[in-house]
C-alpha cells in the first residue's frame, strides 16, 4: 500500500459528460502529480501541485482542470469527454518538489462510451 | 515528448535467468528512477540513482547510470515469475524543478 488513495477505481461515462477524479496523497507529502496512461501513449504527465499551488503543467488538455485543496487532497476534472480520454489516470505524491521517489495510487480507470 | 526510452519494448525469459533493460534519455538529469507496474495497477518505486552515482544495488536489482551516454540499465538477477511486470525509467531534469518524465516501459515476462 503506497498510502496514496484514488477514487473511484472505475468510472464508465458517456461522451460529452464531466467527471471528477479524487486523490488523497500520502501523509506528509506536499506534491501531487496527475498522470494519464493509455495503451499507445505510455505515461503522460498532466499537472503537478505543490502545497496548494500549481507547480508544473504537462500535456493537459484545456477540457481538463485540477486543483489541490488546503488539506492537500487533489481533484482532476475532465469535461466534454471524448472516446480518446479513456485511460488510466494516476495520482502520485512526493514529499517535496522533486529529488525523491514518487508514490503512486492504484489509479482510476476511465471508460468513455 | 518522452524523456526516457526503454529498450527492449518486451522481454521474455525463463525463471532463474537475468533480465536486463535499458533506458536512454535526452537531457541533463538530476536523478533517474526505475518503477515497476503490475498489469493495470499503480507504479511501485524500485530504485533511484543520482547523477553523480554510477551504480546502485537493491536486493536482486542492479542499476547503472552513464551520464556521458545518457543511458541507464536495470538488471534483475535470478528472475522469478513474480517479476513479470512492466518496468519504467523516469528522469528528473537537472534543475530539479520538473516532475518525473516516464518512458513507455519494458514489458518483462518471466516464464516458470
pLDDT digits (tens, 9 = 90+) for B39-89: 888 999 999 999 999 999 999 999 999 999 999 999 999 999 999 999 999
Measured between CA atoms, the residue of chain B closest to residue A31 is B99
Task: Identify all chain A residues contacting B48, using CB atoms and an 8 Å cutoff.
Answer: 100-101
Element at B30 (helix H, strand E): strand B29-37
- Min CA distance, B11 vs chain A (Å)? 17
Measure CB to CB from residue A99 to each of B2, B45, B96 and give the nearest one: B96
Measured between CA atoms, the residue of chain B closest to residue A87 is B40
- Sign of the Cα torsion A58, B8, B73, B37 reads positive
Quote the pLDDT of residue A100.
Answer: 84
More confident of the two residues B58 and A99: B58
User: Rounded mean pLDDT of chain A?
Assistant: 94
Residue A76 confidence (pLDDT) above 60 = yes
- Min CA distance, B17 vs chain A (Å)? 27
Alpha-carbon gap, residue B90 to B104, rounded angstroms: 10
Which whole number is the average pLDDT over A39-59? 89
Beta partners for residue B15, in sequence order: none
Alpha-carbon gap, residue B90 to B31, rounded angstroms: 9
Question: Are A98 and B40 an interchain contact pair (Cβ–Cβ within 8 Å)?
Answer: no
Which whole number is the average pLDDT over A4-13? 98
Question: Are B42 and A106 an interchain contact pair (Cβ–Cβ within 8 Å)?
Answer: yes
* Residue A95 in contact with partner chain B when CB distance is under 8 A: no
Alpha-carbon gap, residue B50 to B92, rounded angstroms: 10
Cell of B23: 533506458
Angle value at C-alpha A78, between A48 and A18, nearest 5 degrees: 155
Sequence-distant (6+) residues with CB within 8 A of A9 are A106, A107, A108, A109
* Residue A49 in contact with partner chain B when CB distance is under 8 A: no
Measure CB to CB from residue A105 to each of B42, B92, B97 and give the nearest one: B42
Amino acid at each position: 500500500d503506497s498510502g496514496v488513495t484514488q477514487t473511484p477505481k472505475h468510472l464508465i461515462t458517456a461522451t460529452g459528460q464531466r467527471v471528477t477524479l479524487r486523490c488523497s496523497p500520502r501523509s506528509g507529502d506536499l506534491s501531487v502529480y496527475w498522470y494519464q496512461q493509455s495503451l499507445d501513449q505510455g505515461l503522460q504527465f498532466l499537472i503537478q501541485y505543490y502545497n496548494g499551488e500549481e507547480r508544473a503543467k504537462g500535456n493537459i488538455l484545456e477540457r481538463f482542470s485540477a486543483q489541490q485543496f488546503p488539506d492537500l487532497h487533489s481533484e482532476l476534472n475532465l469535461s466534454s469527454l471524448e472516446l480518446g480520454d479513456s485511460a488510466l489516470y494516476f495520482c502520485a505524491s512526493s514529499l517535496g518538489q522533486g529529488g525523491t521517489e514518487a508514490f503512486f495510487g492504484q489509479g482510476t480507470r476511465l471508460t468513455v462510451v | 515528448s518522452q524523456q526516457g526510452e526503454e529498450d527492449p519494448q518486451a522481454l521474455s525469459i525463463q525463471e532463474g535467468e537475468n533480465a536486463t533493460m535499458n533506458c536512454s534519455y535526452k537531457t541533463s538529469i538530476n536523478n533517474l528512477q526505475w518503477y515497476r507496474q503490475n498489469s493495470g495497477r499503480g507504479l511501485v518505486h524500485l530504485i533511484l540513482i543520482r547523477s553523480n552515482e554510477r551504480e546502485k544495488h537493491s536486493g536482486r536489482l542492479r542499476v547503472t547510470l552513464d551520464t556521458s551516454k545518457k543511458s541507464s540499465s536495470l538488471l534483475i538477477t535470478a528472475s522469478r515469475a513474480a517479476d513479470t511486470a512492466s518496468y519504467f525509467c523516469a528522469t528528473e531534469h537537472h534543475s530539479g524543478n520538473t516532475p518525473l518524465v516516464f518512458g513507455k516501459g519494458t514489458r518483462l515476462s518471466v516464464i516458470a
